[in-house]
Chain A
Amino acid sequence: MANPAIQDYQRPTDLLEALRQLRDLGPRAMALAGGTAVNAEPQPRIERVVDLAGLGLGAIAEEGPVWKLGAMVTVQQLIDSPLGREGFLGGALGEAARAMSGLNLRNRATLGGILATTDGISPLGCALLASDAELVLASLKGDAVEKRVLPLRAFLGYHASVLAGGSLITEVRLPIPSGDTRAAYERVARTPRDYPIVCAVARLAHKDGIAGNVRLALGGVAATPIRLDLAEFGLEKKAIRDHAAAAVEDGLRALSPQGDWMGSAEYRLAMAREMALRAIARCAA
């Protein structure tokens, strides 16, 4: 899509320069990652784009207890890495990543970009939430780069103001799950390849039918992907078979989804219940 207001293209090679270029034009400048959101929407206010491609943020590395993924790692790069395969969280991360879009968009869309511009459904956002992902954010302090680490769940919902304040996502960190951790992605969509209407990612440690370290993330029921805390709490250290239904029901009470052309509020709630229960059941299978 043409955005004729853009009059200036920058491709800095260091982070400090990138942050300065964004700061200097304030809300009239925008970071450019894969372009699948920025270039797909009208941007009447944006005069400068700062391309992050030269910052070396495209690597995936295992370091101690965490995987570190550069913010410019593409969705397809994640799918093709060990994190997208069956051996990591039962393939749930890869499955959620594949649900984001067709290949030609996955080849460009980046992890930083999809989180910075997240919608309320984002299957990969749900999987990252359920994986306890953390973000490394860089901003200017005076004239130096300051980095801080923020849990993804604290970022979502406030992402627009965090980024408008001049911060850049530079890295996504995923803790390496314990050996008995299981995860599953479930979704309902109009066709098998379509973007979901509602989706769920459950992750839990499973031992003798008892759940531990429970995470349940839902997409399609709020303005961003969310965690269902009450459901997680209700299932923790409990027999999955006996407590899943009541725990999910408790969690759903906190939701007030908006209906739209893809599904009414009632439909979204009903599907959220079903997808959550299916995902939990697959973890327990």
Chain B
Amino acid sequence: MSTLAVTTTLNGETVTFLCEPHETLLTALRDRLMLTGTKEGCSNGNCGACNVILDGTLVNSCLVLAAEVDGHQITTIEGIAGPNGLHPLQTSFLENAALQCGICTPGFIVASKALLDKNPQPTEREVRHWLAGNLCRCTGYDKIVRAVLEAASAGATKE
């Protein structure tokens, strides 16, 4: 087995880590880089709990090999809050009680961030379609959709 050195821009910083060829990006983030905000849900691409932004597009980190991200840019949930505190999306999720057990929340927030980066004023339909790849098994979706729409109307992308 050949251990690989992977260099990537992670939440704005250049990072080099070692990984095995079979390791997923999710495993590397959690077990190598100790960024445990990204959650493991289904591990087969259905639930979106492991969402990260890879070169500006939303992906499931459980389906990406860590070796694939060499030379690429990644944003995880740890990179969403700014130096002055929570991102407006995070505040809006709290204010709308858009979470219950919380395991899906990082994925939802990362997915919502990717949406607002691309479409700062989405309609409710656009939010629902965008988040179709994220599952929440306890709260349901209405409060989550409301939180995203409120964050958008508050100008979340300016933060």
Contact = CB atoms under 8 A, between A and B. Distances in A.
Interface of A: 1-9, 11, 32, 34-36, 39-41, 49, 51, 53, 76, 101-105, 107-108, 193
A101 B45 CA distance: 10
Given A102-B48, A108-B64, A39 B132 contact: no
Interface of B: 1-2, 4, 20-24, 27, 43-45, 48, 51, 57-60, 62-65, 67-68, 70, 111, 129-130, 132-134
A11 B4 CA distance: 12
Contact of B43 (A1, A5, A53, A108): A1
Contacts of B1: 7-8
Interface of chain A, main secondary structure: loop
A6 B63 contact: no
Nearest to B1: A7
Contacts of B130: 103
Contacts of B133: 101-105
A36 B45 contact: yes
B59 A39 contact: no
14 contacts: A3-B22, A9-B21, A11-B67, A11-B70, A32-B65, A39-B62, A40-B43, A41-B44, A51-B65, A102-B132, A104-B51, A105-B63, A108-B59, A193-B129
Given A5-B22, A49-B21, A108-B59, A39 B129 contact: no
Nearest to A108: B59
Contact of B132 (A8, A32, A103, A107): A103
Contact of A107 (B4, B43, B58, B134): B58
Contacts of A40: 43-45, 63
B65 A103 contact: no
B134 A39 contact: no
A101 B132 CA distance: 8
Nearest to B133: A102
Contact of B59 (A2, A6, A41, A107): A107
Sorted from nearest, which 8 A-B pairs have the closest CB atoms?
A102-B133, A6-B22, A9-B21, A40-B44, A104-B133, A102-B132, A9-B67, A107-B57
Contacts of A7: 1-2, 20-22
Given A40-B63, A76-B57, A104-B48, 14 more contacts: A1-B44, A2-B27, A6-B21, A7-B20, A8-B1, A35-B63, A36-B45, A36-B60, A39-B62, A53-B68, A103-B129, A104-B59, A104-B60, A105-B45
B44 A104 contact: no
Most buried by B among A3, A102, A104: A104
Nearest to B27: A2
Most buried by B among A2, A39, A41, A193: A39
A148 to B, nearest CB: 29
A268 to B, nearest CB: 23
